[in-house]
C-alpha cells in the first residue's frame, strides 16, 4: 500500500524575505521564488514551505498578520501566489503555507476594533490596575502584557505588536476554519502551524514560578489540553479536500510522549521534532533522540535548522579550532537524518553550507528579540541573511545588481553561491543533490524502523533494510561494518575506516 506523500517527504523551508528578490526592492518575494522553483526541483525536494507572506506591518518578519486572506504588496499579489502554486505543482513540488493562529498583528481589524472597545473578547484582555495581571514574560523579552489607554491589559506572548487571540471565543475558531478553506481552495497542500502548542491559556491565568517559563506539558501557557480540539476541527477540514492535504505543528515540548499527543489519528499529521535540532554533536545524544522519537511517534520528522535558530553549521562548529569542522559535521548530520524513517525538513541555504552571520551591525538588525532585549540577545537575523545565488559580490544575485538586500550579506560568500557550487563536484550543494537522489532511489525498499548494530562509543551504526548508516562523532576513525559498497559519504571514504565527523551509507546484502 502506498504511504501518504508527507510520511517520507523532504520539505524545503523558504523564508520568503530572504530567498530571491524579483521586484528589485531588496526583499524576497513570491515572483522570486517562482523563478527559482527549477533549482528546488533539481535539488530533489518534494515540497516547499513558505513562511508568512500575508499583509503585515513586519514587526516580526510577517508573523504579525494583519490579513490572513491576502498577500502583502511587499511579496506580490494573490495572482503571483496562484502562479507559484501552479508552477510548483507542474514541477512535482507540493506547497505548504504558514498559518499563525496564536496571535495576530496589532494592525488586524479585529484588534483595532478591540482597542475601541468592540469585540474585545476575541483577544486576551484583563484588568490589572497599575501592574500586569500576572508575571508572564514574553518569549521576546520583557513582560507579556501591555496596558491600553483605557486601563486594561492585553496579552502578547511575543511582541506587543502581536496580541494573543482568545481561543475560548467561538468566533476565533470559525475565523481560522474559514482561513484554512481559503488557502486550500487555492491549491495549497498543507499548513505549518506557528506556535501550535499555544492558543489556549489556563483559566484564571495563574502566575508562573519566576524560573518556570518552559514548554512543559503542565504549563499554564503551553500545551493546554483544550488545544487538541482545535486540531480535531482542522483535521476534518483537511480530510474533506482531495490530495492528502496535511498539517504540521510547531510544537515545543519536553518529551516525545507529549509530542505524540498532537499526532493522534484525528489531529495533526506531523509535528516538528526539535529534540533532534537541540541535540549536541554526540552519538549518545543522537541515539537517545532517535530511540525516544521512534518509540513514541508514528510519523516522525527530523530538522537541523530553521528560521528561528542558529544555523547548524555554526552550532556544530562552536568552540572548535578547525574552521571546517562545523561544515563537516553538518554534512554528516544531514546524511544520518536522511537515513531515518519519516520526513526531513531542510532550511533554505543549508544546501550551500551557509553559516550563521554573527557580525551583523546593530543598525541592520530587525528581529524584535534584539530590540526588546536592548541588544543583550542577538536575535534571529543571523540565520535569515538573504541567499547568495551568483556573482562575486553582494547582492550575489539575490536582488538585481546595485540593490542592497534587507540584511547585509558577508563579503566572503562568493565561494558559497549556488552558481559557484553547481560547478564544483565536491561542493555541499552537489552533496545534497546526491544524498537526496540516493534517498529517492531507496524509497520503497526501506522499512519504517531501524536496527542498531554494535558500534564504538562515539559512533552510531543502524540498518534499514539494505541500507546501513554509520555516523562517526568521535575524534578517531572507526571501522565500517561489512558491506558491498559505499553508496554515499559526507566526506571521502577510503577502505574500511570512517573518518571523524563523517557519515556514510553502505549497501548491504
Task: Give me the active site residues, please.
Answer: 194, 250
Q: In angstroms, rounded to a whole number, what is the distance separating the alpha carbons of residues 40 and 34?
A: 10
d(CA 53, CA 70): 8
Measure the CA–CA gap between 16 and 21, rounded to whole angstroms: 9
- 502-507 and 467-472: which strand pairing? antiparallel
Q: Rounding to the nearest 10 degrees, give the CA dihedral for residues 99, 91, 307, 302.
A: 90
Buried b / exposed e along 21-52 (16+ C-beta atoms within 10 A): bbbeebbbbbbbbbebbeebbebbbbbbbbbb
Distance of CA 110 to the CA centre of its chain: 28
C-alpha cell, 447: 522499512
What's the rounded Cα separation, in Å, for the pair 339 and 503? Answer: 10
Check: CB of residue 96 under 8 Å from CB of residue 33.
Answer: no
User: SS3 of 106, please?
Assistant: coil
User: Phi, psi (5° rounding) for residue 503?
Assistant: -130, 155
Question: 189 Cβ partners below 8 Å, 6+ apart?
Answer: 47, 94, 95, 96, 243, 244, 245, 246
Residues 270 and 249 sit within 8 Å (Cβ to Cβ): yes
Distance (Å, whole) CA 387 – CA 20: 7
Query: What is the rounded CA–CA span in Å between residue 306 and residue 383?
Result: 8
**Alpha helix (H) residue ranges in 225-282:** 227-239, 256-260, 274-278
Residue located via cell numbers 543522537: 286
Distance CA 163, CA 149 (A): 15
From the CB of residue 228, how many other CB atoms can be counted at a distance below 10 Å?
A: 16
Helix (H, G, I), strand (E, B) or coil at 330: helix
Distance (Å, rounded) from C-alpha 482 to C-alpha 257? Answer: 36
246 pairs with which residues across the strands?
190
87: alpha, beta or left? (left if phi > 0; alpha if psi -120 to 50): alpha
Q: What are the C-alpha distances in Å from 163 to residues 30, 128, 155, 179, 379?
A: 27, 16, 6, 18, 20
Amino acid at each position: 500500500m502506498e504511504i501518504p506523500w508527507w510520511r517520507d517527504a523532504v520539505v524545503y523551508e523558504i523564508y520568503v524575505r530572504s530567498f530571491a528578490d524579483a521586484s528589485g526592492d531588496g526583499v524576497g518575494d513570491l515572483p522570486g521564488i517562482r523563478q527559482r522553483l527549477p533549482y528546488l526541483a533539481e535539488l530533489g525536494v518534494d515540497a516547499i514551505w513558505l513562511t508568512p507572506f500575508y499583509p503585515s506591518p513586519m514587526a516580526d518578519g510577517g508573523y504579525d498578520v494583519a490579513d490572513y486572506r491576502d498577500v502583502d504588496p511587499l511579496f506580490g499579489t494573490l495572482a503571483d501566489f496562484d502562479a507559484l502554486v501552479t508552477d510548483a505543482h507542474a514541477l512535482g513540488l507540493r506547497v505548504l503555507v504558514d498559518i499563525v493562529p496564536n496571535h495576530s498583528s496589532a494592525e488586524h481589524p479585529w484588534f483595532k476594533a478591540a482597542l475601541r472597545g468592540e469585540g474585545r473578547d476575541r483577544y486576551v484582555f484583563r484588568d490589572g490596575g497599575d501592574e500586569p495581571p500576572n508575571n508572564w514574560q514574553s518569549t521576546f523579552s520583557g513582560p507579556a502584557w501591555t496596558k491600553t489607554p483605557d486601563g486594561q491589559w492585553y496579552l502578547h506572548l511575543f511582541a506587543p505588536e502581536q496580541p494573543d487571540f482568545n481561543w475560548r471565543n467561538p468566533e476565533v475558531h470559525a475565523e481560522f476554519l474559514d482561513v484554512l478553506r481559503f488557502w486550500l481552495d487555492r491549491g495549497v497542500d498543507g499548513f505549518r502551524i506557528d506556535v501550535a502548542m499555544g492558543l489556549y491559556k489556563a483559566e484564571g491565568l495563574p502566575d508562573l514560578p519566576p524560573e518556570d517559563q518552559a514548554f512543559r506539558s503542565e504549563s499554564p501557557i503551553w500545551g493546554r489540553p483544550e488545544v487538541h480540539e482545535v486540531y480535531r476541527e482542522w483535521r476534518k477540514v483537511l480530510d474533506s479536500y482531495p490530495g492528502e492535504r496535511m498539517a504540521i505543528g510547531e510544537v515545543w515540548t519536553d518529551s516525545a510522549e507529549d509530542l505524540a499527543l498532537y499526532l493522534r489519528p484525528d489531529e495533526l499529521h506531523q509535528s516538528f521534532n526539535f529534540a533532534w535540532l537541540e541535540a549536541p554533536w554526540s552519538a549518545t545524544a543522537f541515539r537517545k533522540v532517535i530511540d525516544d522519537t521512534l518509540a513514541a511517534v508514528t510519523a516522525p520528522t527530523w530538522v537541523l535548522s530553521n528560521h528561528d535558530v542558529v544555523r547548524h553549521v555554526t552550532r556544530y562548529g562552536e568552540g572548535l579550532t578547525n574552521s571546517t569542522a562545523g561544515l563537516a559535521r553538518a554534512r554528516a548530520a544531514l546524511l544520518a537524518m536522511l537515513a531515518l524513517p519519516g520526513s526531513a525538513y531542510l532550511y533554505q541555504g543549508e544546501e550551500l553550507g551557509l553559516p550563521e552571520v554573527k557580525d551583523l551591525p546593530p543598525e541592520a538588525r530587525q528581529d524584535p528579540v534584539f530590540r526588546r532585549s536592548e541588544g543583550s540577545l542577538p536575535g534571529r537575523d543571523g540565520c535569515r541573511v538573504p541567499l547568495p545565488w551568483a556573482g562575486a559580490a553582494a547582492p550575489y544575485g539575490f536582488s538585481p545588481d546595485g540593490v542592497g538586500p534587507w540584511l547585509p550579506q558577508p563579503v566572503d560568500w562568493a565561494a558559497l553561491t549556488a552558481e559557484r557550487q553547481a560547478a564544483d563536484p565536491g561542493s555541499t550543494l552537489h552533496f545534497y543533490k546526491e544524498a537526496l537522489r540516493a534517498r529517492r532511489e531507496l524509497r520503497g525498499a526501506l522499512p519504517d524502523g531501524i536496527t542498531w548494530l554494535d558500534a564504538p562509543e562515539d559512533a552510531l551504526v543502524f540498518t534499514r533494510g539494505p541500507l546501513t548508516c554509520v555516523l562517526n562523532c568521535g575524534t578517531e576513525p572507526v571501522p565500517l561494518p561489512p558491506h558491498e559498497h559505499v553508496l554515499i559519504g559526507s566526506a571521502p571514504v577510503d577502505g574500511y575506516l570512517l573518518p571523524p565527523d563523517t557519515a556514510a551509507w553502505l549497501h548491504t546484502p
